[in-house]
Amino acid sequence: MTRNLLFSLVFIFAGLGLASGQELDTLNIKSSMISTEDAFKLDLYDPLAPARSAFYSAILPGLGQAYNGSYWKIPLVYAGIGTSMYLVIFNDNQYDRYRDAFKRRLAGFDDDEFQGILENDGLINAQKQFRQNKEFAILATVAFYLLNIVDANVDAHLRQFDVSRDLSLSPNFEPNFLSGNIDYGLTLNFKFN
């Protein structure tokens, strides 16, 4: 009796081991997995996406980058524009300080904050320097604003660009058996359909 029970248990466990050792057929396709609606959808080129993202960036800096999904560029846009705006305000305040002191000296007062530190020529030179710095900061602000718009436009264009193996530029390293060195090169591949 124990012998029959032992054989029965061995056959049951062996059968379980063989049944669990079989691999699942991954090529078996169920009809519920096939969607005919998705098969005919095409990812179409949107010619207005670059213009739309540039328009958004012109309205609010960084909005075009958000439209394109480049969220990491938004702090860079605001850092560039914000820093240059800070420099405009700082240099304008400094220019006003030196100009007011110079005007008070011309009016005959000798109680300005630079009395005994700077002469009239020093005040004139400081005014020129801070005015020039303010104008450069204004140009930098305009440049960052325009760069924001151009970046949003170019990024939207490049999102629609097809990057595939049909067009590739890859480095090429081959051993040169005659000289014992490695030859370096670039391989440019074009595939036309």
Span 114-173, pLDDT tens digits: 888 889 999 999 999 999 999 999 999 999 999 999 999 999 998 877 666 566 677 778
Give residue 122's pLDDT.
Answer: 93
CB 87 within 8 A of CB 137: yes
Instruction: Say if 187 falls within a structural domain.
Output: no
Specify the amino acid at residue 68.
N
For residue range 59-71, list pLDDT tens digits in order: 999 999 999 999 9
pTM of the model: 0.62
Q: Is 22 helix (H, G, I), strand (E, B) or coil?
A: coil
Instruction: Decide if 186 is inside a domain.
Output: no
pLDDT at 187 over 90: no
Q: What does the pLDDT average to over 68-78?
A: 95
pLDDT of residue 66: 95
pLDDT number for residue 113 = 87
Nearest residue to 139 (alpha-carbon basis) of 82, 88, 86, 79: 88
pLDDT above 80 for 86:
yes
Domain that holds residue 98: 46-159
Domain assignment present for 27 = no
pLDDT at 38 over 60: no
Domain-embedded: residue 115: yes
- What is residue 20's predicted lDDT score, i.e. its pLDDT? 55
Domain tally for the chain?
1
What secondary structure does DSSP assign to 37-96, as a single string? HHHT------TTHHHHHHHHHHHSTTHHHHHHT-GGGHHHHHHHHHHHHHHHHHHHHHHH
**Residue 140 forms part of a structural domain:** yes
* Distance separating alpha carbons of residues 108 and 123, to the nearest angstrom: 15
- Per-residue pLDDT averaged across 28-35, rounded? 57
Residue 174 covered by a domain: no
Q: Hey, what are 46's tokens?
A: 């949107």
